[in-house]
Structure 1
Amino acid sequence: MYCHQCGEHVNYDKDNYCQACGAKLEKEKVRAILHSEEISEELSPHRINEKASQNFSEAMRSSFAKKELDRYVGDRRKIKMNVEQVFSEVFEKHTKDEAEMLFAAGTRATTPKLRDIEATWPKPWLFARVFLIFALTYILLYIGINSFNNQNTLPGLIVVGSFAGPFALLIFFWEMNAPQNVSIYETAQLFFVGGAASLVAALILYSIFPVENMDVVGAVMVGVIEEIGKLAIVAYFIKRMNPIYILNGLLIGAAIGAGFAAFESAGYAFRYMYEEGLDSMLEIIFLRGWQSVGGHVVWSAIGGAALMYAKGSEKLAPHHFFSSKFLKFFIIPIVLHALWDMIGWPYAVLLLIAVAWFFIYVMIHLGLKQIVEMHDDEERRRRLSAMT
């Protein structure tokens, strides 16, 4: 709850006066408002939006699994989504003007106020167009090397092929950022600078904790080292930008994970070309390209969202990294990363991708739920202000 005078958080159960400004708390008025909200809660537009956004596939989880996940997340409400609805705009026709309007989002002039933020599942589509641009560019560069044996197209082929999957996926997370408060310029900065910095952070950790063999212990070490390395850079940008939304953390994590994945894939492609030839390079670009949908991008997105889930509206502090809210989610990308490196079976990789995306949708749900609660808090403050 908030103080009607200064807007600071207060405890209406224990305090009689605001600890920040000293104003007397109007407890009876607050109780009356809360009582009226309980009566009309089912008719609240925000609750209706929330329920509409929770149209999940029930077949994904058993009754026991639903109860366990709800307890794990700390939310009594069901975690639901509608995948078909989220991607419903991908195959619809969109104009150039619509794309330009999207790219204008996140600036000081275009960032919506809290009351104007939609608490429903976004319907991204621009990411698919971005991927098609990368794919067309890749095909043209491939024709240059395959049909004309022009070596000048090789660097472009490596870069475009390695960046296509991670960057297009990043645009998806940028579109899913319902607050629309991070510009494409900031996102690109996170991708390039943050991605390169996270790669260097992981290399520093590898120099301290070298991994000799990719056995079970080695795979776990790789998962821990690389996820912590990326998280360190995610935390830096969260500290600097000081966002308040879980969906912001999801985007920041995805951007840094996408940069890490793109630079790493380009490195692998170059090594395979140098050591084994062009065909091996093309194979590794394709393999890492489609696998990027369930790799570093989504792992870091989960970590970034988990950190914001623990931080909330507070400034980032060391105790947030030891919060159960953070740790119970951050362990997921570490485990998924370790299993990914242990198992080479294709169907197992698909299962790991599905698990990672399930938790991505859980974090998106929590992000939208947070916006609903912020809407409700703002409405309470407005009503309290009107009554005083």
Structure 2
Amino acid sequence: MAFTGPADQHTGKRSRPWLRMFAVGLALWVATVVITLGTRNTNLIPTIVLLGSFLVPATFVSWAFEHRHSGEVTGELVFRTFAVGGVLGVLGASLLESYLLHPSPWLFAGVGLIEEAVKLGALALLTRHLREKSLRDGLVLGASVGFGFAAFESAGYALTALFTQNGLSVLDLVTTELLRGLLAPFGHGLWTAILGAVLFSRSTRDHFLLTGRLLAAYLGVSLLHALWDSMNTIAVLITLVLTDQRVLAEGYLPQPTPAQVQLFTVVTWTGLAVISAIGLLWLGLLVRASRRQVAPVVVRGYPMATDARWWPTGRSPR
């Protein structure tokens, strides 16, 4: 379901700066971790946090930028949606979750609804002046906001993991960054890319339109988000049920016993895989729709775009 990437004018091969960026960044991160562990130089810890938290999100944004549709989607705009959109999303989610969800029995559902709403709002705010709003550009810019959110959130989780009861733990920091880097492509970036595509697909030159389709997409990605965040709890419940244990017998949800850990792990990763597959399938359908939207047709000997916005009258010929 990949987009068609740009070709190198001299070699005829696809240019992959995102791949070089990932390789160089990964090498620098590994070198920093090794040197930090070898020298115990705590001054290098911020470098580990920044490289580890931003490497995967920035790489995916670089890849997405290569497949933009409109020339209005510049590097400056992508950087702004990644950095400013990510920070706005994190700050907005933190404020709303603090005041609305603690304590709350609907914690995971609330987190999904709030975080997807603030990311969508940040995307609309930062791209409201675009004259051309295509589905593909919505994918790219939505992913940029989502990955920016993921990068700043991962930096926070990494710093939290660093501080333990026994002092600073670089190993816990590295483990957290590896896990979140592995899962990053299937979380915030994916969900906000879907929302961005739906938002842009029904928008006009001057306005974003609030439609039933956008509401359905928002509720859908919020549900995927909530299921993702609650998968640990769901896996515990399933594990207890399958092993004939009394659920909530003590008034709280117990942790898996050593004998249950293997089943718990399988259920957890299976659930995350299913959620990811649903999101990727949804994204794939939107990618196909974006290709149809900009696919050229020949009218009276001249190639024209099938998207009605390319026609002066605003209507495609029949």
Q: TM-score range by the shorter chain?
A: 0.7 to 0.9
Q: Does 1:340 align with 2:198?
A: no
Q: Does 1:330 align with 2:218?
A: yes
**1:123-174 Cα distance to aligned partner (Å, 9 max, x none):** 7733222211210110111122112222121100011001111111111221
1:147 corresponds to which residue? 38
Specify the code of the residue in structure 1 equivalent to 2:140: L
**1:211–1:221 contact (8 Å) kept in structure 2:** no
The answer for unaligned runs of 5 or more in structure 1 is 1-80, 99-122
**2:72–2:130 contact (8 Å) kept in structure 1:** no
**1:138–1:160 contact (8 Å) kept in structure 2:** yes
- CA shift for structure 1 position 240: 2.8
Q: Does 1:244 align with 2:133?
A: yes
CA distance in 2 between counterparts of 1:197 and 1:241 reads: 19
**1:220–1:335 contact (8 Å) kept in structure 2:** yes
**1:181-231 Cα distance to aligned partner (Å, 9 max, x none):** 412222112111111111112122223312436x6x211111001101111
- CA shift for structure 1 position 268: 0.6
Specify the code of the residue in structure 2 equivalent to 1:367: S
1:349 corresponds to which residue? 272
**1:124–1:176 contact (8 Å) kept in structure 2:** no
Q: Does the C-alpha gap of structure 1 residues 336 and 187 become closer, same or farther in structure 2, counting only changes over 3 Å?
A: same
CA distance in 2 between counterparts of 1:288 and 1:219 reads: 18
- CA shift for structure 1 position 357: 1.5
2:189 corresponds to which residue? 297
- CA shift for structure 1 position 87: 8.8
Q: Does the C-alpha gap of structure 1 residues 176 and 212 become closer, same or farther in structure 2, counting only changes over 3 Å?
A: farther
Map 1:102-251 → 2, pairs under 5 A:
125-212=16-103, 217-251=106-140
TM-score by length of 2: 0.75
1:8 corresponds to which residue? none
Specify the code of the residue in structure 2 equivalent to 1:191: F
CA distance in 2 between counterparts of 1:226 and 1:310 reads: 22
Map 1:299-318 → 2, pairs under 5 A:
299-311=191-203, 313-317=204-208
TM-score by length of 1: 0.62
Q: Does the C-alpha gap of structure 1 residues 375 and 145 become closer, same or farther in structure 2, counting only changes over 3 Å?
A: same
Q: What's the secondary structure of 1:256's corresponding residue? A: helix
The answer for unaligned runs of 5 or more in structure 2 is 233-267, 297-303
1:371 corresponds to which residue? 294
Specify the code of the residue in structure 2 equivalent to 1:218: L
CA distance in 1 between counterparts of 2:310 and 2:75 reads: 31
CA distance in 1 between counterparts of 2:81 and 2:312 reads: 35
- CA shift for structure 1 position 176: 2.3
**2:5–2:66 contact (8 Å) kept in structure 1:** no
Structure with higher Rg: it is: 1
More helix by proportion, 1 or 2? 1
Q: Does 1:269 align with 2:158?
A: yes
How many residues align? The count is 266
**1:331-372 Cα distance to aligned partner (Å, 9 max, x none):** 221111000011130121122122211112222222222213
CA distance in 2 between counterparts of 1:159 and 1:300 reads: 22
Displaced runs of 4 or more, over 4 A: 86-89, 377-382
